[in-house]
Amino acid sequence: MSTPPASLRMVEVSGAEALWLLEGSSLGRLVYTQRDQTVVRPGRHTWEFGRLVVRTPAPAAAVPAAATYHVDEIRAVGGTGWTVTVAGPVDVITDPDEATHYRRTLTGWTHGPHDTLLRLHPKTVSGFRLARAEA
């Protein structure tokens, strides 16, 4: 005899809680549009001075002036987790000293022209928790 699956619901979290969840994670996805196609690239991130610094395997010239960064942690077995999305203007980190610092602190996948460091200035932050529905 099997038990029916639990009902799940998404609960919106405050911006402060969403940022707290974001700070506790280090892996996400950078999402942007290029030539009318949606591009998704993995990224490592850190939150510093009110900005999100992202290291991603994307060519710097391809990243537009604005992008979205998505982070989530879903536990399928327990039916719990969370998701956070940050959107805003992006600028490429070109200062060699700053870039060296972030390349040391953020693990990357590639080195060369597709190893880009970005600074995302958040304009919108949204987050949701996956929770069991109350009976």
CATH number for domain 13-129, candidates 3.40.50.720, 3.20.20.70, 1.10.760.10, 2.30.110.10 = 2.30.110.10
In this predicted structure, the answer to whether residue 129 has a pLDDT above a threshold of 80 is: yes
pTM more than 0.75: yes
Kindly calculate the radius of gyration of the chain based on its CA atoms and give it in whole angstroms.
17
Q: What is the mean pLDDT of residues 63-81?
A: 87
Q: Which pLDDT band holds residue 110 (cuts at 50, 70, 90)?
A: low
In this predicted structure, the answer to whether residue 122 has a pLDDT above a threshold of 60 is: yes
Cβ-contact 26, 105 below 8 angstroms: no
Q: Residue 2 carries which DSSP code?
A: -
In this predicted structure, the answer to whether residue 123 has a pLDDT above a threshold of 90 is: yes
Structure tokens at 111: 């080195």
Q: Is 14 exposed, middle or buried (CB count within 10 Å of its CB: 0-12, 13-18, 19+)? A: exposed
In this predicted structure, the answer to whether residue 74 has a pLDDT above a threshold of 90 is: no
* Confidence at residue 112, expressed as pLDDT on a 0 to 100 scale: 66
Q: What is the mean pLDDT of residues 78-98?
A: 91
Cα separation, 53 vs 21, in Å, equals 16
